[in-house]
Amino acid sequence: MSALLAGACTSLPPPPQPAYAAAPPCSTPAATIAFDFEGASQSRCIIKGEREFTILVGPEHAPPINPSAWYAFRYDIDQGDDVTVSLEYLAGSHRYPPKLQASGKSVRIDAEVSENRNRASFDIPPGSGRVSGQEIFASERYSQMFNQLRRYSFVDIEVIGHSLGGRPIDAVRMGRPSAPNLIVLLGRAHPPEVSGAVAMEAFLDELALLYAGGDIDADNVQILAVPLLNPDGVARGHWRANLGGIDLNRDWGNFSQPETRAVGEWLDRLEPAVSPIAMIDFHSTRRNLFYVQGPDETDARQEQFLNEWLGQMLVSVDGYPFTIERRNANPGSGTSKNWFHSKYGIPAYTYEVGDNSDRMTILSAARTFAGLLPPAVSKSLLDKPPPRSR
């Protein structure tokens, strides 16, 4: 199967990918704290004692919108007493409870958090492992996802561009390239928003099963999914931005960064007979919700889609309470929700997953939402496709 579809940017070789620049480790005779893996934070470690360390947690640029204070480090601890680690936040505050990954298991650690939440302390037992604010969901897991999807004859993986740091922007294409109705799915603009990535992984897998079972007509509906829009930020443990210090979910329409520009240029290359009909952007926040268009922004077709897909499910997704929040697009805000709705006149939703939502429930709910998408699209969006904006 070809790794590239017709229309991909292949005329120029990709720029060289820089070596990963890890933050310096700190070590004592009893323990080492290091930041030498993909997804580790760009943090400074201070030795406070043989078995006591402070990690300074700061953003990659000036305090971002909705700060997601990310931390991730590796440890090696000799036998003996536990090691105490304190997280000291230089901006933002403690958001993600620490998770310890060791011996193939992940365990949440109890932390003592200061009243103003700018400091958190916890103990780590002897041994080797990693501690991070969320589970590490980086290029290896995305590669596994792509390999699973490649099993299907109607799936291709396309490199639609490269990040500022030279990493590929991989896209999943489902259905026929000539199918006239296009659904766009985006993910991981903001690196720490792992729960949204977990949901998108299950969502894509369920959509592939629906295509395989004939529940989605590959000749009529195609999907472009970009699960990892910000590969540099994920690799380097950023809070919010890409390597250029730009929040990618404020760059739609402006397209100042190669990551968003890759998607915009791919859309510009579509045949005139192909039109986007819906966009869903996967994110994370403190609770489960969907941001949708405000009531004065929609037409009858979009209202029907909202009701068919989400409106009847508010109390029906077992163990996964969520809300629907209607917000106007705020023209010029540069969010994907704003740009896709403004340019194409289509439903453009932000699928927000709670930071600490149970992972198995996230998977189950995402499969439910994916299963409800084809009939909702069929009933409300396919009979009267919106005009293509150029």
> Could you tell me where the DSSP H helices lie in 323-382?
336-344, 359-380
What pLDDT, on a 0 to 100 scale, did the predictor assign at position 315?
Answer: 58
Summary mean pLDDT of the chain: 91
Mean pLDDT of 86-91: 96
Q: Angle 359-380/300-309 helices, nearest 10 degrees?
A: 140
pLDDT digits (tens, 9 = 90+) for 125-172: 999 999 999 999 999 999 999 999 999 999 999 999 999 999 999 999
pLDDT at 384 over 60: no
Q: E strand or H helix at 199, and its extent?
A: helix 194-212
> Given pLDDT bands bounded at 50, 70 and 90, which one contains residue 218?
very high
pLDDT at 203 over 50: yes
The CATH homologous superfamily to which domain 139-380 belongs is Zn peptidases (3.40.630.10)
Length of the chain as a residue count: 390
Q: What are phi and psi of 304, to 5 degrees?
A: -65, -40
Hey, where are the domains in the chain?
23-132, 139-380
pLDDT at 98 over 60: yes
Q: How far is CA 325 from the centre of its chain?
A: 20
Which has more confidence, 21 or 261? 261
pLDDT digits (tens, 9 = 90+) for 30-66: 999 999 999 999 999 999 999 999 999 999 988 778 8
What pLDDT, on a 0 to 100 scale, did the predictor assign at position 390?
Answer: 43
Least confident of 20-34, 358-372, 374-388: 374-388
Other C-beta atoms closer than 10 Å to the C-beta of 280 total 25
What pLDDT, on a 0 to 100 scale, did the predictor assign at position 388?
Answer: 47
What pLDDT, on a 0 to 100 scale, did the predictor assign at position 332?
Answer: 76
Bin 3: left if φ > 0, else alpha if -120 < ψ < 50, else beta. alpha
Least confident of 15-29, 183-197, 306-320: 15-29
CB burial string 218-245: b at 16+ within 10 A, e below: beebbbbbbbbbbbbbbbbbbbbbbbbe
Q: E strand or H helix at 197, and its extent?
A: helix 194-212
| Radius of gyration for the alpha carbons in the chain, expressed in angstroms and rounded | 22
Q: Residue 68: which of 358, 352, 367 has the closest Cα?
A: 352
What pLDDT, on a 0 to 100 scale, did the predictor assign at position 84?
Answer: 98
CA distance 228 to 239: 15
Q: What is the DSSP letter of 92?
A: S
pLDDT digits (tens, 9 = 90+) for 4-22: 333 333 333 444 444 456 7
> Given pLDDT bands bounded at 50, 70 and 90, which one contains residue 316?
low
What pLDDT, on a 0 to 100 scale, did the predictor assign at position 20?
Answer: 53
CA distance 153 to 49: 57
Least confident of 19-23, 210-214, 292-296, 370-374: 19-23
**pTM for this predicted structure:** 0.92
Q: What are phi and psi of 248, to 5 degrees?
A: -65, -25
* In CATH, 23-132 is 3.40.50.720: no
What pLDDT, on a 0 to 100 scale, did the predictor assign at position 21?
Answer: 64
Q: Which residue has the tokens 């209607």?
A: 326
pLDDT at 385 over 80: no
